[in-house]
Structure 1
Amino acid sequence: MHSVDSVAAPVWDPAQYLRHSTHRTRPFLDLLHRIPRLPHPDRPARIADLGCGPGNVTALLADRWPDAHITGYDLSPEMLEQAEKDWAGSTPGGGWIDFRPADAAHWTPGEPYDLIVSNAALQWVPDHPESFARWIDGLRPGGTLAFQVPGNFTSPSHALLGELCALPEWRARLAGQGRRFVHILEPADYLARLTGLGCETDVWETVYCQLLQGEDAVLDWVKGTALRPVLTALGDDPPAAEAFLAQYRDLLREAYPAGPHGTVFPFRRVFAVARRPN
């Protein structure tokens, strides 16, 4: 999920995104493990998943809270179509999953929630910490706001993308596209913001040393996420897109050389779990 701004919204490819679903899902599972008991466990929980993407992690919420009513929100029609196809409807535990279009930059809870969760989405939302107050106000007493965001925007994969977009041959078409998503805070800043709103807060970071498989594995990874704005901007000019990808591919090969067992791709994530007081 991202915020609409003056630049065309990226076109998402659910199949490309899900190519690395095991690595992409692991941080969400780690986040899920740290979410405390929700209020009123004697009744079904009400849960919102902001930036639900193709719905694969939304479904994991139903594993943890089988009878919950869970709504996934996303701005991408492509992602919502995939999520509806794969995951909408009743759950084995007697709960329900549905999906709705929404922009996280402007979303306001329309009912009380026990849990508002977001997985690798808020990095696309400028000023998302300004929304914390209204999201926490939308929680029931004892409810939780929990999210994780990538924290690797100074890593070679992302720094090289920004530098390439800024070169004279690409600047006119791609200026800023390589850094559209750099909107996260440092962990201590998230901690200060959330505790300042009266929440009992747990914030941490983890670097996952991911071993990716396949040829040009890091390029394949970023094609599902950080590269989407560039691919969208060049979508009407396939030769230009191929030329850009070839240049970026060569830079990534040097920064992340393939080894005998795959390509090591360190990936930092920042986590926050904030519980509203009872």
Structure 2
Amino acid sequence: MTTTGDPTPPVGDSSPARWQPDTYLRFAGERARPFADLLARVGAESPARVVDLGCGEGALTASLARRWPAARVTGVDSSPEMLAAAAARALPGRVDFALGDVRDWAPAGPVDVVVSNAVLHWVDGHPGLMARWAGQLAPGGWLAVQVPGNFRAPTHALLAELCRSPEWAGRLAEVAPRADTVLDPAGYAEVLGTAGLSADVWETTYLHALSGSDPVLTWVRSTVLRPVLARLDDDAAGRFTDAYAAALRAAYPPRPDGTTLLPFRRVFAVGSRPA
């Protein structure tokens, strides 16, 4: 899910910019593909305990239960709105969901697979959190993490520039996206290796063809724009959004067929503990 480190809220924060499942799921297919690519490199065969940290509305969590039918799968998220949507996917004894902040999560015992998809970019100091999760894996356990790696892309750079402009800096400078929010692949390989895991780390840039009016703005509304708009009243939010939308249209112009291309880089880190 979602796109800058602290002081912006972690995934699922119930601040004025609450998560809206319907808005987030408008691009469900595009957001699901990195999850599938991440899990394709997890070699667990028959895990008993699987946890999805930052599970959102639960669709991808449910796919973990289909992959590992004998596993007990738990999704954790701090958004009541997302968990309300996830409740329909719960299966007694197999799939359950819990309200909680990923920064505070601690299992009752060792876990076989820990997944965190598009979550940790919300958490300041998340490499330390990954090291802690690695220590909670059972022998032969797996840790799989994916984070957006596009913090230097126009979506984020233009937003940061606007937040720090004279008109908005007083209210928004501290929530402007930071270019150093996530590590590069080598950095995550070091985190996993230092934690005693065998590391498999890579990056991919997806090229999404979006449609509709201001589709890039629609994409970021449910992610990086949320904590920014949470600082503004309705009038100010409207003026800010109009300025940001104009900048995005210039950076991501529509093609003759009406679609708009959005390159989106993501970084993947999978680690396994020796059995």
- TM-score when scaled to structure 2? 0.91
Aligned equivalent of 2:202 = 204
Q: Which runs of 4+ in 1 moved over 3 A?
A: 1-10
**More deviation in 133-142 or 250-259?**
133-142
Aligned equivalent of 1:270 = 267
Decide whether aligned partners of structure 1 residues 210 and 4 sit closer, same or farther in structure 2, where only a CA change above 3 A counts: closer
> 1:168-207 residue pairs with structure 2 within 5 A?
168-179=166-177, 183-207=181-205
Aligned equivalent of 2:159 = 161
**More deviation in 194-203 or 265-274?**
194-203
- TM-score when scaled to structure 1? 0.90
Aligned equivalent of 1:250 = 246
Decide whether aligned partners of structure 1 residues 176 and 211 sit closer, same or farther in structure 2, where only a CA change above 3 A counts: same
Return the offset for 1:231. 2.1
Decide whether aligned partners of structure 1 residues 29 and 5 sit closer, same or farther in structure 2, where only a CA change above 3 A counts: closer
CA RMSD of aligned residues (A): 2.0
2-structure distance, mates of 1:172, 1:115? 43
Q: Does 1:135 find its partner at 2:142?
A: no
Percent of residue pairs bearing the same amino acid type = 51
5+ residue gaps, structure 2: 10-14
1-structure distance, mates of 2:160, 2:56? 24
1:32 to 39, 48, 67: 39
Q: Does 1:239 find its partner at 2:235?
A: yes
Deviation per CA, 1:52-71, whole angstroms, max 9, x where unpaired? 11112111111211232111
Aligned equivalent of 2:112 = 114
**More deviation in 248-257 or 110-119?**
110-119
5+ residue gaps, structure 1: none
Matched residue of 2:139: which SS?
strand
Deviation per CA, 1:20-74, whole angstroms, max 9, x where unpaired? 0100010000011110124xx3xx6211101111112111111211232111111
Q: Does 1:87 find its partner at 2:84?
A: no
Aligned equivalent of 2:72 = 69
Q: Does 1:96 find its partner at 2:94?
A: yes
Matched residue of 1:179: which SS?
coil
The total of aligned residue pairs comes to 267
Matching residue's letter, 2:251: A
Aligned equivalent of 2:50 = 47
Matching residue's letter, 2:230: T
